[in-house]
Amino acid sequence: MSEIRVSEIFGPTVQGEGALLGRPSVFVRTGGCDFRCTWCDTLYAVLPEYRHGWVAMTPEAIIARVNELAGGQPILVTLSGGNPAIQPLAPLIASGHAQGHRFALETQGSIAPPWLKDLDWLVLSPKPPSSGVAPDWPALAAAIAAAANRPRSVLKIVVFDDADYAYAREAAARHPALPIYLQVGNHRPAEPNPAGAAGIDPEGLHARFRWLVDKVMQDRWFAATVLPQLHVLAWGNRRGV
């Protein structure tokens, strides 16, 4: 059975962003990504120079660790990265479901593996202009199609500025059936830090949140949900929370 590259497993804690905000979860963060976003705050799970810290684990070993952290209770398992969609996650999802766990995957929608349909939640976070990554609308559409309307699928767009906001409006227009969550952007740490210890700018985050709320209200875009990164406000850019 294929092993999965794991950067970290932690929790239980609450989901800090998007449609599952506040939901208790154990996080399984995989290693490796097909993107290099300028403001990435999990470079330790993206850049190959950190691969020595990634561990190849079987699905059974991952579920055993989830069970240990959750005290043997069923829990939401958040699959994150990096980009977890590049990993062979179908056996993990099947094994976890058999033990009562539910799964949410957070991905940019650049890859459309067939097992997306086996999830309980699919959080698609295509990257806006501030990321430095060119949009790939066909790839996003393919990921949505691969989910086959089986998991609950949502869009989550990070917004730093007007260009990102316009991108979010276009994403929503292209996929009007999907709920959309706008997440206030969190500046990338000053330099790659595997400990994730770089601080944040609380006042800047609060000001950007107020700006984004004002934009949405002025445009009467009442279908959008505007959220901060709750975990960043509570713990900063620390790793494993």
pLDDT digits (tens, 9 = 90+) for 145-167: 999 999 999 999 999 999 999 99
Mean pLDDT across 108-126: 97
Scanning the chain, the segments in alpha helix (DSSP H) are 59-69, 90-98, 137-147, 162-174, 202-218, 230-235
The answer on pLDDT for 51 being more than 60 is yes
C-alpha distances out from residue 209 to 126, 153, 214, Å = 20, 24, 9
* DSSP category for residue 62: H
Sheet holding 152-159, edge to edge: 55-57, 4-14, 24-30, 76-80, 102-107, 121-124, 152-159, 180-184, 224-227
Query: pTM for the whole thing?
Result: 0.91
- pLDDT value of residue 17: 87
Domains of the chain: 4-235 (3.20.20.70)
- pLDDT value of residue 194: 45
From the list 16, 69, 26, 19, the residue with the least C-alpha distance to 234 is: 16
The answer on pLDDT for 104 being more than 90 is yes
Strand partners, 13: 25
Helix (H) or strand (E) holding 9: strand 4-14
Specify the higher pLDDT residue, 199 or 182.
182
pLDDT digits (tens, 9 = 90+) for 190-215: 444 444 435 677 788 888 999 999 99
Mean pLDDT across 66-75: 98
Ranges 47-51, 61-65, 187-191: which has the least confidence: 187-191
- pLDDT value of residue 205: 85
Paired sense of beta strands 152-159 and 121-124, if any? parallel
Mean pLDDT across 171-191: 84
The answer on pLDDT for 34 being more than 70 is yes
The answer on pLDDT for 241 being more than 70 is no
Average pLDDT, the chain: 91
Strand partners, 153: 122
* DSSP category for residue 213: H
